[in-house]
Structure 1
Amino acid sequence: MHKSSPALTLFLGLGAWLLPQGVAQAADCSAPPGPEVEWARCLLDSRNLDGADLTGADLRDASLAHAKLDRATLVRATARNVRFGYASLRGADLTEAELVRADFTRAKLEGAKLRGADLRRAQFFGADLRHADLTAARLEGADLLRAQLGGARWTDGTSICAPDSVGTCQ
């Protein structure tokens, strides 16, 4: 029987102690949609998530390009760096979602609720935000080039963008 040296035992014990505690598990990209689903870094392009409840979901660095999320609930979702390019989010509820650096290029967000959402540095190139609610949303550094904003409720909660607003709320 081989005995380990006290130094080796101490080294192995310290190594286990130094490992990060509570390391996050890999996302299960095949998990069904539901509240608090963990889809970080998942490729979910073209998925039909119409009306799905994704409250509190972890979508960091995921791709939902061309996905259908009409009337979906993404309240308080963590969705930094998510790609929503060409996705349909008509009437979706993204209240208080963290969407820093999200890409909404040409996404359809007509009537979406973005109340209190963190949209800093998000890309909305050519997106349809008509009649969206942006009350208290953080838009610092967001790119709204060619975004349709007609009828949208602006961040102050009272201003409504003119019907022909494109790129800026008039």
Structure 2
Amino acid sequence: MPIHRLWYIRSEKGQVEGPFPVRLIGDFVLVGRLTQDHEVSHDRNEWKKLRDVPELVPQELKQDLSKTEAQQQLTLARRRADARSRQDRRATEPEGAMAEERRDAADRRIPEPYQTNVHRTRQREAFAPGARAIALPGPKILLGLAVLLVLVTALFFILQPIRSAQDSDCNARPMPGVYWENCKMEGRSLSGVNLSEAHLRNSYLAMVILNDANLERADLSYSNLSGASLSNAKLYNANLVGVTLRKANLQGAKLKGANMSYAILQGADLSNAMLWNVDLSNADLQGANLQAADLYNARLDNAIWVDGRVCQTGSVSKCLTR
């Protein structure tokens, strides 16, 4: 699926709003103003459920929410999204049908998830002027301290400066940590450059040359690298969620610990690549070359294998099928 920067939203009443950038739609989902059942389109002709477009579903909602760590990450993500929404509500508020749904809470507002409602209530109570600490019974003291610690930690992250797509500088020279989000860099020659921890989310990098480049811990999620060459590139612990690497050259690439869930790797050359501990769940590997690739401890849950088979949940290091 090609990656698009802007998407239209169709309300339950059939009215179309937008277009909105990917990050803003993700915030709408996190704070409950949109659900994954809303319809989206990049051209107003072809519509699909938001849940069927991986780039629009926040990563925090794709985790196993039965785990405490995943729940904490989701809570922090919702607080950040809520803070951004309050800061620029006038500039980003969708008009028309969606705004009407928000204004008329009696019968038009999109129902918020229970967890979101609980989060809003707790945040109001915690930060309300003059709020006093509640004395907890003895057996609950430890629990109260734990909750306080979570709130302090959350406040710390909320107060951190949040970079946005507006901070991206597509003309900046390549260097560690560079902000190239949403940039179009088709065919650029970047062999051997150091882009460790670079921000390349949602960028168009088709046919780019990154042979021997250092992309350790870089964020390339949802970027399009179709036909790109990353031979012997270092991608340790890189974020490659939803990335398009169709027919890309990844010969000998070092991908240890990378997150490649939902990646499109159709026809990609991964021969001799190091894929230790890589998350390839839900990835599409049809037609890919995995000759001599090292898949030690790689997750392949629900991945589409090179021959079109779907790997079973629990597939590790190799594709298990019925």
Residue ranges of structure 1 left out of the alignment (5+ in a row): 1-17, 158-165
Which of 148, 152, 159 is 2:289 aligned to? 148
* C-alpha distance in 1 between matches for 2:230 and 2:284: 18
Which residue of the partner structure matches residue 62 of structure 1?
203
Which of 19, 44, 49 is 2:87 aligned to? 19
**Per-residue deviation, residues 68-122 of structure 1 (Å, max 9, x unmatched):** 0000010000111011100000000010000000000000000000100000000
The total of aligned residue pairs comes to 145
1:40 aligns with 2:181: yes
TM-superposed CA distance for 1:129, in Å, is 0.2
* C-alpha distance in 2 between matches for 1:137 and 1:100: 11
**Per-residue deviation, residues 117-158 of structure 1 (Å, max 9, x unmatched):** 00000000000000000000000000000000000001327x
* C-alpha distance in 1 between matches for 2:228 and 2:275: 18
Which residue of the partner structure matches residue 217 of structure 2?
76
The structure where strand makes up a greater share of residues is 2
Note the 1:117-132 alignment, pairs <5 A.
117-132=258-273
Note the 1:101-112 alignment, pairs <5 A.
101-112=242-253
Which residue of the partner structure matches residue 306 of structure 2?
167
* C-alpha distance in 1 between matches for 2:220 and 2:296: 20
Let me know the Cα RMSD of the aligned residues.
1.8
* C-alpha distance in 2 between matches for 1:50 and 1:112: 13
Structure 1 residues 63 and 23, CA gap change in structure 2 (3 angstroms) = same
* C-alpha distance in 1 between matches for 2:202 and 2:262: 15
Residue ranges of structure 2 left out of the alignment (5+ in a row): 1-85, 89-158, 299-304, 308-317
With a CA cutoff of 8 Å and minimum separation of 6, indicate the structure with the bigger relative contact order: 1
TM-superposed CA distance for 1:26, in Å, is 2.4
Letter of the 2:306 counterpart: G
TM-superposed CA distance for 1:63, in Å, is 1.0
What secondary structure is seen at the aligned counterpart in 2 of 1:95?
A: coil
Letter of the 1:89 counterpart: L
**Per-residue deviation, residues 29-57 of structure 1 (Å, max 9, x unmatched):** 00000100000000011000000100000
TM-superposed CA distance for 1:23, in Å, is 4.9
Which residue of the partner structure matches residue 100 of structure 1?
241
* C-alpha distance in 2 between matches for 1:78 and 1:70: 17
Which of 115, 129, 147 is 2:256 aligned to? 115
* C-alpha distance in 2 between matches for 1:63 and 1:26: 17
* C-alpha distance in 2 between matches for 1:134 and 1:92: 12
Q: Under a length normalisation based on structure 1, what TM-score does the superposition of the two structures give?
A: 0.80
The percent identity for this pair of structures is 37
Q: Under a length normalisation based on structure 2, what TM-score does the superposition of the two structures give?
A: 0.43
After superposing on structure 2, the runs of 4+ consecutive aligned residues of structure 1 that deviate more than 4 Å are none
